[in-house]
Amino acid sequence: MSVAIVVGAGSGLGAALCRRFAAGGLTVAAARRRADAAEDLASEIGGRAYACDATQSAQVAALFDAVQDDLGTPELVVFNAGSFQRAGIREIDPEAFQRHWETGCLGALHVGQAAARVMAPNKRGTIIFTGATAALRGGAGFASLAVPKFGLRALAQSMARELHPEGIHVAHTVIDGLIANPERGGAWDPESRDQPEALLDPDALAEGYWQLHQQPRSAWTHELDLRPWVERF
């Protein structure tokens, strides 16, 4: 059985990733902080829902142990978790800043380590980290997003240089724009003439992730920029 794990299987990109991987023939483990929040999605795609707070290394280890026992060794792992709160430098709550870093960067380390350990014996697998434009430049009011995303990008680069020679494909995406998300009032409707063109279609993004996983190792992409056609860059 071919298995994928999506850590951060929320209603936007996370759900789209789970659906695309399932359509590609993988059995998907959809992980969120609360398993019940992912149960409907898991049922829809024939996968399984798991609880995992990526900031807690023990929970990440337990997730990978459970998935291996229930489904098998994952060949594709996506870290899609993150959080931030917009605030100026003088207003940032240091404790909140630390929580955002732990979610977006430390959590990525935990998931990346666990994925590398289970993939190494087979000398194959794909690990993808969801990044953002904030990984390339910090914006005013967005320090609590930029700092973890900068760290996430550095982690992905270091992992790629270490793990590519072992047959494990590590990729980092730069999501340049806002993703449509039904939980936040931004559901995507490709048939609508009024669809905001600046929103990213999560299904289109998920297709990009799937293509990363399908790449032959003679031509691996490490960093993939994804943005709507109207986005200025």
Q: Which CATH number covers residue 199?
A: 3.40.50.720
| pLDDT recorded at residue 219 | 97
151 lies in some domain = yes
Three-state SS letters, 135-192: HCCCCCCCHHHHHHHHHHHHHHHHHHHHHHHHCEEEEEEEECCEECCHHHCCCCCCCC
pLDDT mean by block of 10 residues, the chain; 233 residues: 95 96 98 96 98 98 98 98 87 93 97 98 98 93 94 98 98 94 55 61 97 98 94 85
Averaged pLDDT score across all residues of the chain? 92
Nearest to 126 by CA among 26, 42, 34: 26
Residues spanned by the domain of 150 = 3-226
Nearest to 226 by CA among 171, 149, 174, 152: 174
| pLDDT recorded at residue 152 | 98
What's the structural domain count of the chain? 1
| pLDDT recorded at residue 73 | 97
pTM, two decimals, is 0.93
161 lies in some domain = yes
Per residue in 70-106, pLDDT (tens digit) is: 999 999 999 999 887 888 889 999 999 999 999 999 9
232 lies in some domain = no
Question: What would the two tokens of residue 172 be?
Answer: 């980092």
231 lies in some domain = no
Instruction: Please state the separation of Cα 141 from the chain's center in Å.
Output: 23
